[in-house]
Structures are given as structure tokens and as C-alpha cells.
A and B are shown apart, each in its own frame.
Chain A
Amino acid sequence: MNYEILIPLLAAAVQSGTPILYATLGEIFTERTGILNLGVEGIMIVGALSGFLVAKITGNPAVAFFAAGLAGAVAASLHGIVCIIFQGNQVVSGLALTILGVGFANYIGAAYVGQAAPGFDPLPIPLLSQIPGLGPIFFRQDLLVYLTYLIPPLMWLFLYQTRYGLSLRAAGENPAAAIAAGVNVVACRFVGVLVGGFFIGLGGAYLSLAYTHLWTNNLTGGRGWIAVALVIFAFWRPSRAIFGAYLFGGVMALQLRLQASGTQIPSSLLLMLPYALTIGVLVLASWRRGGTDEPAALGRNIEPVD
């Protein structure tokens, strides 16, 4: 494959990997506090719709992007209420949230299918975009992509280098010990769910505001579930999430290019690629579960009995 094809493909990989990266980072943050949120797909599509609608009404994509994050946090709070306060099963609650979110977004969005909204366009960074190779791949993207370059290091700093991060991780590793040490575990877990939901909502908004610029039914198309898988692939570490997200972005971009090139392979078989890859990646990551940072109390509720 020659240079003129490879560079645009890699740039497209970064772009289509970005929504998955937002969602994966959000889910990592949530799972670190011990809450397994399988509602990513539902939260993401609610974020996508909210971003689209706010952009359409206000005409301001930045406001829309932030509003999508808030909508994601609100959607995720349902999972928090059901699991943290009402002690519901986390697996089933997340599934319910996905069913609810997808239904809600398709219901409200039905009147807007195919309509466009103002969004984000590529904004090359002056000097950096001139670097051969790296420049066109990483620095001729839109603003929201640049934002994701900052989040993993900041999230790492917060989780590993601050007291609050330590409390959040303690809530996911050993809630009983954390409670004994005076940590408000319920608050920690709620923060995890809400902040995680905020980022997942942003991931959805990337799809409607920067990736497609318009609304269609089932816009997320399983990306939320891929993000859930990538959390495992990333060993629950923000830095590793980047590689996973761009790998999937690459496969999605490649698949689209193959379709556009008029290949003989039927499109339904090409569309299978990302899903099949998810299983493959998951098998590889799970094979030897050494060195992961999987929270020990992930998915387990805290008994409210005193």
C-alpha cells in the first residue's frame, strides 16, 4: 500500500476512532469506581441526539457538545440510581439503559432523520500539521479530536496522583476497606457514573457533530458495545484505550474505503469486520489475565444494611 493511500486512511482511523475513545475513557472512569455500566450504547446515542438537537436550535456546536455531555451524565444517572441506591443488578440495569436510550433517541429523533446540523470542521494546527506523516494524521483534525489527546494523561494524573483519584479507585477495589477508611463510597461511585456518562455522551456527540453532521436512526451502530470491550482490552488504563480506539477506527475506515472502491466482497460481510475484530481482541486480551488493572469489586453492589 503506498503513501498517498495510507496517510488518509490513518487520518480517517483517528477520526472514526475518536467517538469510541471518548466512550472508552468514560467507561474506564466509571468502572474504576466499581460500577459496571453496560448502558454505554444507550448513553452514547442520547448524547448524539442531544448534541444534534442543541446544535440545530442554538447554532453553536460548542454549546451542543457540552450539552451532549450533560445529557450523557443524566442518562447515566439512571443507572447510578438503580444500582447504587436501589441495589439493582448492574448487568441488567445497564442493558435496560441501552434499550431505553436507543428507544428514546430513535423516538425523539424520528422527526429529524436525514437533517443536518452545524458541527465541527477540521482545523489544522499551524506548525504541527506540517510535520510529514504525523501532521496530516493527527493535526489536521477537528477540535474535538485534539481534546482527546489531552484527556488520557489528565485522567491518569487524576486517578493516580490525587487523593480524590485514590478514593475513587478504592471504591472500586475494596469498598469495605474504603468505607472503614472514611471514604464516602456511595458518593465516589456516583461521581464515577456521572463523569463517565459525561464522557460517553461526548463520544456520541462526536458522531452527530463532527463525524456525520446529521442525524440517522441507530447512529451509534454498536460503537458503545465496542467501547465496553475496549475497556477490557485497555486493561482499565486510559493510555491503552488510545491504541484500541484507533485500531477500531482503522478497521471502520478501511471497511468504508473498501466499499467505496467497488470491491466484489458483499458489504454485509465487510460490515462484520469490526464486530468480529472485537471478539478477537477480547479473546487476546483475556487469554492471560496478567497485569490488568481490573477493579476487584467491579459489578458488585454495596449492601445498604448497617
Chain B
Amino acid sequence: MALIRIVKRQEPLGWGSCFVLIAAVALSVLLGGAILAIGGTPPVHGIVTLFQGAFGSRWALEDALIKATPIFLCSLGVAVAFRLQVWNIGAEGQYAMGAVGATWIALSFPGAPAWLLLPGMIAAAMAAGGCWGFIPGFLRQRLRTNEIIATLMMNYIAILFLDYLVYGVWKDPASFGFPMTPVFSDQAIIGRIGATSFSWGLTHCLLLGVAVWAFMRFTRLGYEIKVGGDNVRAARYAGIPYDRLVMLVMALSGALAGWAGFLEASSTINRLQPSIMAGYGYTAIVVAWLARLNPLAIGVAAFLLAGLRVGVEGLQLDLQVPAAFGGMIEGLILLTVLAGGLFTRYRFAFKRRLP
């Protein structure tokens, strides 16, 4: 017989779970170093370069904050859906559709004043992203279609649709054949805050983060999402319109990712081109889970994983490490954090020997 007994914890672990999180990330970095060694890069030098590149300079921190913006918004949406136990893996596609929607308005009304154009772009981005989330939600509740696969397939479709537009009808005639739309007019571009390198998009994140937090904390709908996520049958029994709730949450989730697509197109790239798809939607899933779906923690985790992306770019330049290294580390972190969850939910006790 085993001498160790596993006992479920009665109350959450509190600060101990922070320790588990740090241990998991440290283990992933260690494993990442080992894989660097396999690839022929000196591991210690590589890891140091990664961290210096990520957080070692003002420029790197600024870049991390810029990259954290879309990740944060996508992750907020993902977190709301995950809270209801609806697996929206489609942030990537919803983000793409958001960028497409915003671009459509920007290219259609280039002369409109900014106070009209920017809200129009946001509305179109939210509608397009929201639609892309609503469809799998609808299919899930009405036709019992697995939302994981539906959202994932819609990612591929959205990205190909974006390609179709920028390679075809929206291609800038003056781009020498490169797949990109013309640069947006000045009114369609979100400016920078004063003399900093940050766009006003950062304030969108702040406002939306607070709004989502308040929505989940104080509104009836937020409460219903939590109840529905904990126990579907209890929620239905309590008269919560679960089907409509799922569709609403999926649309909301998609709209947030769509907003991220708008910000990226308007403030970072200033046009639509295939490189706008950088895998932020998948990183957002890692972030949401790391942050345990808590909006404030999502902000922190989004910044850290954005920093990791910046660090990997440095690693690519300095030591010729392939860019895929970043995705690998993200996968490792998520796996180790999941495994570490055992220690936050259960405790281990020695069995008392029977006399």
C-alpha cells in the first residue's frame, strides 16, 4: 500500500498557488534551456539572452506592452467564455475578423472625421468578431456541435478570408505586389499618447478590463455566467436561460477579440496585411489559464507572455534560434501549470500505520 494519501483541500491554497505557478514557469524555462541545448545553442547564454531581450531594456518593455495589448483583449474574451465552461478556442479567428471589419470601414470612408470613423471601425470590428463567436455558440446550443472544433476551424477560415482580401480585392495597387491594403487615412489611425511610443489603445485595454471585471462581479449576467459555469443543470433549474447565455457570451468573447484586431490594424500596423496574424489568439488561451480567468491577473500574464515574445525575437536575432521556440515555451508553461494544479487542489498526507 502507498504510504502517502491524497486529500482534497477544503479551502483554496492562497499564496501557495503563487509559489506553484512560479515553480511551474521555472521548470518550463529549465526544460526550454535543455531544448535549446539540443538545438545547438548554449543553454545558459540562451536563457540569459531571452530574459535580457524580454525585460532588460526600456525599449523591450515598451515593445512588450505594445504586444500585450491584443493578447490582453483576446484573453479577456477567452476568459469570460472559459468561466462559463464554453471552450472558445477561436480568439485567433475572431481577432482576424475584427481586423477585417475595421479595415472595411477604414477603406470605405477614408475621408470621414476621426470621431465618426474610429467608433465606426470599432463597431464593425466588434460585429465581425462577435459574429465569428456567435456562430459556434449558436451551433453548440441549437445543433449540439462541438464548439472547440467549430471555433478552431473558423480560425483557419477567417485567416484564409483575410488572405483572400489582402491578396485580392483590397490589395494596394502601389504595393509592388505585396499582399497588403493601402495605409489607412490619418483619421483611421489611433494616435500615440503624447511623446510616448504607446497608442491610446492602451486606455481601451484599461477601460475594457475594468468593464469586464465589473460585469462579472456586479451584474446579474455575470453572476449567471458563474453559476452556469459551475453547474449547468443547477443553472437551468434556477431559470437561467442557459442557451441564450452561451450565445451571448460567445458573441461577447468574439467582440473583445475583434476589438483587439481593430487596435492592431489601426494603431500598430496602420493597414491590413497577413503579418497581423501572429498567434495572439492562441497565446491568449495560455494567458487566460495562467491568470485563472481573473482580469487583473490576465493583465500581468499578458505582459509577461508578450515579454517572452519580445525575448524570443531577440534570441532569433542574436543566436539564430528559430521563432517557433516561443510557442514551444508557451506550451511547456501551460502544461506544467496544469500539472501544478494538483498541488493547489489536493494535499498529501502520510498514512498512519495501523497498529
Contacts and interface: CB of A to CB of B under 8 A. Distances in A.
Contacts of A278: 149, 153
A282 B335 contact: no
A275 B150 contact: no
A134 interface: no
A103 B328 contact: yes
A81 B342 CA distance: 12
B320 to A, nearest CB: 9
Contacts, number: 158
Contacts of A217: 324
Nearest to B322: A110
Contacts of A304: 6, 346
A271 B339 contact: no
B88 to A, nearest CB: 11
Given A91-B87, A103-B331, A266-B168, A286 B146 contact: yes
B145 A279 contact: yes
In the A-B complex, list the 3 residue pairs whose CB atoms are closest, starting with the nearest: A100-B331, A103-B327, A103-B328
27 contacts: A38-B148, A42-B331, A86-B339, A86-B341, A88-B341, A92-B338, A97-B335, A99-B328, A99-B334, A103-B325, A104-B35, A104-B324, A104-B331, A108-B39, A225-B152, A272-B156, A275-B153, A275-B157, A279-B150, A279-B153, A282-B149, A282-B150, A283-B139, A283-B145, A287-B143, A305-B6, A305-B7
A103 to B, nearest CB: 3
B197 to A, nearest CB: 29
Interface string A268-306: 110110011011001100110100000000000001111
Contacts of B143: 283, 286-287
A93 interface: yes
B353 interface: no
Contacts of B331: 42, 96-104
A266 B145 contact: no
Given A104-B35, A222-B153, 16 more contacts: A85-B339, A87-B345, A88-B339, A88-B342, A98-B331, A99-B282, A100-B327, A103-B329, A103-B331, A104-B324, A107-B324, A217-B324, A272-B156, A275-B153, A279-B154, A306-B5
Contacts of B149: 225, 228-229, 232, 278-279, 282
Interface stretch (B123-131, B158-166, B258-266): B158-166
Nearest to B288: A92
A304 B325 CA distance: 34
A99 B330 contact: yes
Given A86-B339, A279-B153, A268 B164 contact: yes
B335 A268 contact: no
Given A268-B160, A268-B161, A225 B334 contact: no
Contacts of A269: 160, 164
A105 B327 CA distance: 10
A95 interface: yes
Interface string B252-271: 00000000000000000000
Nearest to B336: A82
B332 interface: yes
A222 B153 CA distance: 8
A217 B148 CA distance: 24
Interface in B307-355: 321-322, 324-332, 334-335, 338-342, 345-346
Contacts of B167: 266, 268
A104 B6 CA distance: 34
B286 interface: yes
B160 A272 contact: yes
Contacts of A272: 156-157, 160-161
Contacts of A101: 331
Contacts of A100: 327-328, 330-332, 334-335
A305 B327 contact: no
Contacts of B342: 85-88
A98 B161 CA distance: 24
B145 A286 contact: yes
A106 to B, nearest CB: 3
A247 interface: no
A99 B338 contact: no
A276 to B, nearest CB: 6
Given A96-B338, A268-B167, A283-B145, A106 B322 contact: yes
A198 B35 CA distance: 22
A266 B282 contact: no
A152 B144 CA distance: 27
A93 B161 CA distance: 29
A107 B148 contact: no
Nearest to A270: B160
Contacts of A97: 331, 335
A78 interface: yes
B289 interface: yes
A89 interface: yes
A78 B335 CA distance: 8
B327 A106 contact: yes
B144 A93 contact: no
Given A97-B331, A100-B331, A278-B153, A110 B324 contact: yes
